[in-house]
Amino acid sequence: METEQIAHTIDKAKIPLRRVLGLLTSILLVAGIMIGSGVFKKIAPMAASGLSSNYLIAAWIVAGIITMFGAFMIAGLSDLTTDSGGIYEYLRMMFGDFVSFLFGWTAFTIIGSASVAALSFIFAQSLNGIIPLYDPLAGLSHISIGNFIYPFASSGIKLLAIATVLLLTWVNYRGTKNGASLNTILTWIKVAGILFLIALGLFFSNGTHDTPAQFANSGFSNTGIYTAFFGALLSAFWAYDGWADLSYVTGEIKNPKKNIPIAIISGVSIVMLLYVLVNYAYMRTLNLEELAAVDENNIAASAVAERIIGHSGVVFISILIMFSTLGALNA
């Protein structure tokens, strides 16, 4: 009896979340999470697979369709509850507390924290490419953990990454509406930047040269083509990641049973269209051999923009990636 009274008291004291996110904001939140850095660089390893341009475009389309199936699944599951929690809550309702417990701790210790760390680091790297950052711990950069991890190397970039996470945490702590407003601004900026990049590739490039024979599947067996295609899919899936995260803020979305399905499906559709068009623009500007030759530490989109508008294109892409990763990090 006493336990029931305590539970009743806790339930009465629970502070409800404010439903402040409308449909457009939710759509932009989905797009803002998905568009990070992958769309600007994954074409290089995909081109190195040896597949033809038609196969690469097909990989982006197939990955988008499979992602859309996932969006349909979340759209259906969103009808189960109007509370926040997302995948954690869906797993709890379908399979019980233990499975959701495992997922929750995995998300907290690995999935979520690693994504935040990676995005903040890429943001700081992009800014460093435009304005070189001071490295206050350069004298300690030789210190390593197991000759593998160098915690003080590039300390300026790492300190800025940490500061960015703290700043965005504070912004979102101040209210969901603040974080959503910042996301809306940043998402519009990066969508506009990608559309500009698409326009450059489609209308201002001279088109690529003939694709070299070694990049036209001439040496592939059927099994080899399938293997290479699934490898290309893996790269594309990285760029599509994040579409399910809207469900985590279900409790802050207006009319969630209607708006979550529309927002997730619309957001994935917009991103899929942008990804297919921008990758077509890449391959129209540079041939596959040139894209494959882009060093892993460089960015394919920068090489494309540089080909069309010179060094200013590299600066443009650095700024675009900076805004893109900042937006994804905030989302």
- Please indicate, yes or no, whether the overall pTM of this predicted structure exceeds 0.75: yes
The string of DSSP codes covering 17-47 is: PP--B-HHHHHHHHHHHH-SSHHHHTHHHHH
Smallest CA-to-CA distance from 244 within 82, 38, 23, 78 is with 78
Q: How many helices (H) and strands (E) in the chain?
A: 15, 0
d(C-alpha 299, C-alpha 85), whole Å: 35
Phi, psi of 133 (to 5 degrees): -90, 145
- 244-278: pLDDT as tens digits: 888 888 888 888 888 999 999 999 999 999 999 99
What are the structure tokens assigned to 201, written together?
Answer: 């590739």
Smallest CA-to-CA distance from 186 within 28, 316, 38, 314 is with 28
Q: Are 158 and 124 in contact (CB under 8 A)?
A: yes
Q: For the CA atoms of 172, 174, 178, 183, what is the dihedral angle to 10 degrees?
A: -10
Lowest-confidence range among 44-53, 83-92, 224-233, 288-297?
Answer: 288-297
Determine the 3-state secondary structure of 233 from DSSP.
Answer: helix
d(C-alpha 93, C-alpha 3), whole Å: 23
Q: Are 243 and 67 in contact (CB under 8 A)?
A: yes
d(C-alpha 294, C-alpha 302), whole Å: 10
Which pLDDT score is estimated for 210? 46
Q: How confident is the model at residue 214 (pLDDT cuts 50, 70, 90)?
A: very low
Which pLDDT score is estimated for 57? 94
What are the structure tokens assigned to 26, written together?
Answer: 């939710």
Q: Is the pLDDT of residue 301 over 70?
A: yes
d(C-alpha 209, C-alpha 197), whole Å: 20
Q: For the CA atoms of 291, 48, 212, 206, what is the dihedral angle to 10 degrees?
A: -20
What are the structure tokens assigned to 252, written together?
Answer: 């802050």
Task: Collect all residues with Cβ–Cβ distance below 8 Å to 121 and sequence separation of at least 6.
Answer: 157, 158, 161
Q: Are 36 and 242 in contact (CB under 8 A)?
A: yes
Q: How confident is the model at residue 15 (pLDDT cuts 50, 70, 90)?
A: low
Q: How confident is the model at residue 213 (pLDDT cuts 50, 70, 90)?
A: very low
Q: Which CA distances in Å does 214 have to 47, 52, 141, 166? A: 11, 9, 42, 48
- Please, is 289 exposed, middle or buried when counting C-beta atoms within 10 Å of its C-beta (0-12, 13-18, 19+)? middle
Residue ranges with strand state E in the chain = none
Which has the higher per-residue pLDDT, 81 or 67?
67
- 16-31: pLDDT as tens digits: 778 888 999 999 999 9
